[in-house]
Structure 1
Amino acid sequence: MAVIRRESRRHYRWPEIQFHLLIIVVLSGSATCLGIFAWFMSVQAQMDLGTPWLFPYMVVTGGLGVFFVLLVILLISRGFLLPGIVIIGSFILFVLWLTGLIETSLLLYGVTGNVNDNCQIYVVDNVSRGNTIDTLAWLTQSTICNCWKTAFAFELVNTVFYFWMMVMSWQVHRDFRVD
């Protein structure tokens, strides 16, 4: 008597274009914030200033975001990407990015000593030109101000995209089929 064994596999239908777009944006946002906050940490160290907790926090969060995306890409290439992995990873990263977004927004737009007002007063309203050390200092200050705004924007985008990845993964999980 011959025993025929048939293995059934779950087939998840991921919306490919949408999912790949999310992955690219989240990867670029994570890498950008990782670089910005690592640079902020080196600037603080160079100036012999203390490092706010947000800077290493966002370096770790950005690194985890890059790692998660690379893990997802590896699982996609092997055919083992499960919605549960994306749901759990996206939820964890959503909470981490939301925490960073809240703290960044408090530092950037907060009530006292906020970065945005200082940038407006000391950089935007105080343009320096010419071949002088003052112009070089102004350019560095302008870069720091722009990096704060860029980091805030990418934190907002990543927070929204991780939430959307959770929703999309739940829909994929709900609509699976067994062959």
Structure 2
Amino acid sequence: MAVVRKVTRPRYHWPEFQLNVWLIVVLAGSATCLGIFSWFMVVQTQMDLGTPWLFPFMVTVSTLGVAFIFLVLGLIASHFLLPGILILGSFILFVLWLTGLVETSLQLYGVSGNINDNCQIYVVENVSTGNNINTMAWIMQSTLCNCWKTAFAFELVNTIFYLWMIVMSWQVHRNYYH
């Protein structure tokens, strides 16, 4: 007579609303930064300038963020979302996003001649209007300035949200054993 054992997987109780908000915000932040830094790389290439390490780094980190979200969605669909997977993945991505955030903040708000100061001097205080090439150049410069600020904001949000996921995953893990 053969003995059949039923293997049961642990059932962790995830706070659905927080998990869904986290998924949407992190996916939006990762996709936005992926687009911005990819575009920055195209602009650098078009202008025959070197590409700073931050741009491919953030493209890679953003791509990993999007891939991680799809992994989490797959784990949710298969009812196999384990806190350990989210703690490890969120910690790795937290460190990567924090690295990008620090470098972006140094470029944007660092020493004199930073991007924010240049945007203030050459774009905000130098508005161009009319149907001419100067206005088109001003629009492009304004877009670049706004993209830097948007990237910084989403990097900050994603960094905080990955830290939040580490805490939330730890709480789900702890509640399973108590």
TM-score normalised to the size of structure 1?
0.96
Shift of residue 3, structure 1, vs aligned partner? 4.9
Contact 1:12–1:177 (Cα < 8 Å) also in 2: no
| SS state at 2:167 partner | helix
Distance 1:2 1:56, change over 3 A: closer
State the distance in 2 between where 1:162 and 1:137 align: 37
Contact 1:123–1:141 (Cα < 8 Å) also in 2: yes
Which residue does the alignment assign to 1:103? 103
- Where does 1:8-157 land on structure 2 (aligned, <5 Å)? 8-157=8-157
Q: Which residue identity does 1:127 align to in structure 2?
A: V
Q: Which residue identity does 1:90 align to in structure 2?
A: S
Shift of residue 113, structure 1, vs aligned partner? 1.7
| SS state at 1:175 partner | helix
| SS state at 2:43 partner | helix
List alignment gaps of at least 5 residues for structure 2. Answer: none
Contact 1:29–1:154 (Cα < 8 Å) also in 2: yes
Contact 1:10–1:177 (Cα < 8 Å) also in 2: no
Percent identity of paired positions between Structure 1 and Structure 2: 71
Distance 1:31 1:2, change over 3 A: closer
Contact 1:11–1:177 (Cα < 8 Å) also in 2: no
Q: Which runs of 4+ in 1 moved over 6 A?
A: none
Q: Structure with the greater relative contact order (CA < 8 A, sep ≥ 6): 1 or 2?
A: 1
State the distance in 2 between where 1:104 and 1:71 align: 27
State the distance in 1 between where 2:69 and 2:3 align: 42
Distance 1:70 1:2, change over 3 A: closer
RMSD: 1.5
TM-score normalised to the size of structure 2?
0.96
List alignment gaps of at least 5 residues for structure 1. Answer: none
State the distance in 2 between where 1:20 and 1:45 align: 37
Q: Deviations over 1:26-75 (max 9, x none)?
A: 00000000000000000000000111000000000000000000000011
Contact 1:87–1:165 (Cα < 8 Å) also in 2: yes
State the distance in 1 between where 2:162 and 2:48 align: 36
Number of matched pairs: 178
